[in-house]
């Protein structure tokens, strides 16, 4: 199943997952790539404080071409939640 972002680029669910994990990995440079999965918790596992998830906004806008809002970012708990939120903002083909 594929969806398209705001610029019309087509994505699969696994493609979105890989892109989100790359973004999270860049924001948590001390973690090995293989340690970050959908189940990784942003606060409990990676140690992000209350405001750090806001750093997801820009790379998601520039890489995945969707616009997450801040209040959603602050409530996300896991990498899987980020993937689901981005996927949910893409339009079905």
Q: Give how far Cα 63 sits from Cα of 8, 9, 29, 43, 47, Å.
A: 13, 11, 18, 23, 24
In the bound complex, what is the minimum distance in angstroms from residue 52's beta carbon to other proteins? 4
Count of residues touching other proteins (by CB under 8 A): 31
Nearer to other proteins, 19 or 27 (CB): 27
Nearer to other proteins, 19 or 84 (CB): 84
How are strands ordered across the β-sheet holding 2-4? Answer: 10-12, 2-4, 91-92
**Contact between residue 6 and residue 67 where contact means Cβ atoms under 8 Å apart:** yes
User: Can you name the residues that pair with 78 across neighbouring β-strands?
Assistant: 41
Is 17 a residue that touches other proteins (CB under 8 A)? no
Q: Using CB under 8 A, pick the residue from 4, 15, 22, 28 that binds other proteins.
A: 28
Q: Using CB under 8 A, pick the residue from 8, 30, 62, 93 that binds other proteins.
A: 30
In the bound complex, what is the minimum distance in angstroms from residue 88's beta carbon to other proteins? 7
């Amino acid at each position: 199943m594929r969806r398209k972002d705001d610029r019309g680029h087509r994505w699969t669910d696994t493609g979105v997952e890989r892109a989100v994990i790359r973004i999270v990995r860049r924001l948590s440079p001390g973690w090995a790539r293989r340690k970050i999965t959908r189940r990784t918790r942003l606060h409990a596992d990676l140690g992000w404080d209350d405001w750090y998830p806001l750093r997801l906004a820009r790379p998601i806008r520039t890489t995945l071409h969707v616009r997450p809002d801040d209040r959603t970012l602050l409530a996300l708990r896991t990498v899987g939640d980020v993937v689901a939120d981005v996927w949910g903002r893409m339009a079905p083909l």
